[in-house]
Amino acid sequence: MPNRLSVVDVDRCVGCQSCMFACARRLGEGGLAGACIGVRSAGGIRRGFIVVVCRACPDPPCARVCPTDALLPRSPGGVRLRAELCIGCGNCVQACPFGAVFWDSGQNKPQICVYCGYCARYCPYDVLALEDLTSPPALRATPSLLLTEGDCLKS
């Protein structure tokens, strides 16, 4: 089932970073190096926050600029990273207008959201939700609480 993460209501974001730490923890480690989601202030905390996350574009620009087809478009949207093909050129980082291609400087390869929704489970304020791209848009704002443990730890 092709999912994607959706920022349901960015105005409810308090900047706690629970989603960022969850994303790294999904890999079994602490810290932030593994995070494929980013939260920053919208020009100072008084103005609230911006949540940077892969929106699973139907025609992803990151994949179009990849010289080795390491980023494989997924139907109906998003990409999958085939790390063995990646040469670490960083074109994808430049191509994403949201800044949602994060970089693993240790491996010198991009870090791409796998649309598992683990982060959304830890959003205490329902800013994030995992939605099914095959369902009609009107029905998509899935409350994060409906996810099960199994859905989230895959990948």
Partner 1 sequence: MLPDDPLRRILYIDLTRRRFWAADRPDLFEDGLGGAGVAVRLLEEECPPGADPLGPENPIILAVGPLVGLFPMASKTVAMFKSPHTGNLGESHAGGRSAVAIRMAGYGAVVLRGASPTPVYVVVDGDAVYFRDASALWGLRSTDTVGRVIRERERGAGIRTIMRIGRAGERGVTYACVVTETYRHFGRLGLGAVFGSKGLKALVVSGRRALPVADRRAYREVYDAIFRAATESPLMQKYHELGTAMNVLPLDAIGALPTRNLRSGRFEGAEAISGENLARNYLGRRVACAHCPVACIHLAALRLPYPNDPYFYKTTMVSYDHEPIYAVGSMLGIADVSGMLQVIDEAETVGLDVMSTGVTLAWATEALERGLISLKETDGLALAWGDWGTYIRAIGRIVDPPNDFYRALGRGVEYAASVYGGADFALAFGGNEMPGYHTGPGCHLTYLTGARHSHLDSAGYSLDQRAAAKGETLTPEGVADALLEEERWRQVLASLVVCFFARGVYAPEGVERALAVAGMSCSADGLARIGAETLARKHAFKAREGFDPARLRIPGRILETPSPLGTLDEGFLRRAIARFWGSGRE
Q: Print the binding letters for residues 62-101 with partner 1: x by CB under 8 A, - otherwise.
A: ----------------------------------------
Given the complex with partner 1, which of 33 and 72 has the nearer CB atom? 33
Task: Give yes or no for residue 41 binding partner 1 (CB under 8 A).
Answer: yes
- Binding-site member from 2, 9, 10, 17 for partner 1 (CB under 8 A): 17
Instruction: Say how many C-beta atoms besides its own lie within 10 A of residue 40's C-beta.
Output: 13
According to DSSP, the β-strands at 3-7 and 128-132 are antiparallel
User: How many CA atoms does the CB half-sphere of 132 hold within 13 Å?
Assistant: 10
Shortest distance, position 110 Cβ to partner 1, whole Å? 14
Residues 101-120 that bind partner 1 (CB under 8 A): none
- C-alpha distances out from residue 54 to 3, 44, 47, 96, Å: 11, 23, 22, 9
**What is the Rg, in whole angstroms, of the alpha carbon atoms belonging to the chain?**
15
For residue 140, give the nearest of 154, 150, 130, 149 by alpha carbon: 130
**Consecutive H or E run containing 132:** strand 128-132
Instruction: Say how many C-beta atoms besides its own lie within 10 A of residue 84's C-beta.
Output: 7
- Binding-site member from 10, 14, 89, 95 for partner 1 (CB under 8 A): 14
- Binding-site member from 5, 7, 8, 34 for partner 1 (CB under 8 A): 34
Given the complex with partner 1, which of 35 and 81 has the nearer CB atom? 35
Residues 42-61 that bind partner 1 (CB under 8 A): 43-46, 48
Binding site residues, partner 1, CB under 8 A: 14-18, 21, 24-25, 28-35, 38-41, 43-46, 48, 122, 124-125
